[in-house]
Amino acid sequence: MARILNFTAGPAHLPESVIQICQQALWDVGNGIGIAEISHRSAFFDDLMTDLEAQFRRVGAVPDSHAVLFLQGGATLQFCTIPATFTRPGGHIDCIHTGYWTRNAMRDADFYTRIHYAYDGAKNGFQHIPDDDEIAYSSAPDYVYYCANNSFLGTEFKRAPRCPYPLIADMSSNIFSRPIDVAAHSLIFASAQKNLGIAGCCVVIVDRAFLDERQSTARPSMFDYKRLVQARSMLNTPPTFALFVMKQMLDWIESHGGLKSMAARNAQKAQIIRDAIDATNGFFKHVGDENSRSSMNISFYSPNPELDARFVAQAESNQMIGLRGHRETGGLRASIFNAFPIEGCRTLAQFITDFAQKNG
């Protein structure tokens, strides 16, 4: 049966080879029991976790200076866990505010600390990712927070901002889509369901020195990064199936050349769609400044909301789903995470061309 092209912002497209492995694993992982039934205290799963962390470090070039955690609660739980852990009485944090996800993160951080906006993209409708000289850090924040890829409008930092203070990044929408400068960050977190598998797991990469310096030992167990590190992310029952899928996704990434190859492939996919948008001579228009646009989420719009709705409906009848823009912004959005096929981008590009010709 032909598969639908899934342009949603997550849960995202999975490679067919990974789906086939997971189908078999649900039935039997080699010892007469399926992966969804196996104990997280079993030798099989202990070995899986050891291999998963080692491979995650290898693929992402994660240095020994940083611990790796595989946690539950999604990226959203980190919105409160991070400020609860790493802010100090009377202190404050800086935020590079580029849209919906930084807004939501700061809404939770506001329970724990004061917030200084070192950059506020609301002034330009979040169409722009700031250069380093546009960011005005305050004096001695506990940390600086930013979202590396803003999926709601489709803007992306091309590299980590230069920062003299501890830097924390939400990389949920672009982790492992390209090489990462892990050492530039005190903490990185990301949900898995876009580039690393399925929903149910959040990856946290945290600098051990930052953790030792900042975390109080008197914390509830599931909010205690130190205990979670000591327990190898298995303080309680981890999301076993989601972690198995992540291991298969890392295998897939490595088999396709690693993160440098992912970066080139993702740039090619994005360009195919963007070229089609440009070729409509203004019928479709991009969202975001040219140098700020994401390779993960292509946001665009037609002359009016009625045509946007028609585009979405006709795309669905052509086996392409998830092209409606974010609920707060409207318009159109194509999310093309790591596993999304190049051929699917070409199919969408042709549909964009045909739609503009018929409705322009």
Q: How far is CA 54 from CA 23, 58, 60, 284, in A?
A: 24, 6, 10, 44
**Catalytic residue status for 27:** no
Instruction: Out of 101, 142, 224, 269, pick the active-site residue.
Output: 101
Report how far residue 165's alpha carbon sits from residue 228's, in angstroms, rounded to the nearest whole number: 25
What count of residues does the chain have? Answer: 360
Gyration radius from the chain CA atoms: 21
Instruction: Out of 94, 142, 194, 247, pick the active-site residue.
Output: 194
Report how far residue 298's alpha carbon sits from residue 288's, in angstroms, rounded to the nearest whole number: 10
Report how far residue 310's alpha carbon sits from residue 324's, in angstroms, rounded to the nearest whole number: 10
Report how far residue 168's alpha carbon sits from residue 152's, in angstroms, rounded to the nearest whole number: 20
Buried b or exposed e, range 53-89, using 16+ CB within 10 angstroms: bebbbebbebeeebbbbbbebbbbbbbbbbbbbbbee
**Catalytic residue status for 123:** no
DSSP state of 327: T
Cβ atoms of 7 and 348 within 8 Å: the answer is: yes
Instruction: Out of 170, 207, 224, 308, pick the active-site residue.
Output: 170
**Catalytic residue status for 252:** no
Cβ atoms of 206 and 23 within 8 Å: the answer is: no
Say which amino acid occupies 205.
I
Cβ atoms of 112 and 84 within 8 Å: the answer is: yes
Active site residues: 101, 170, 194
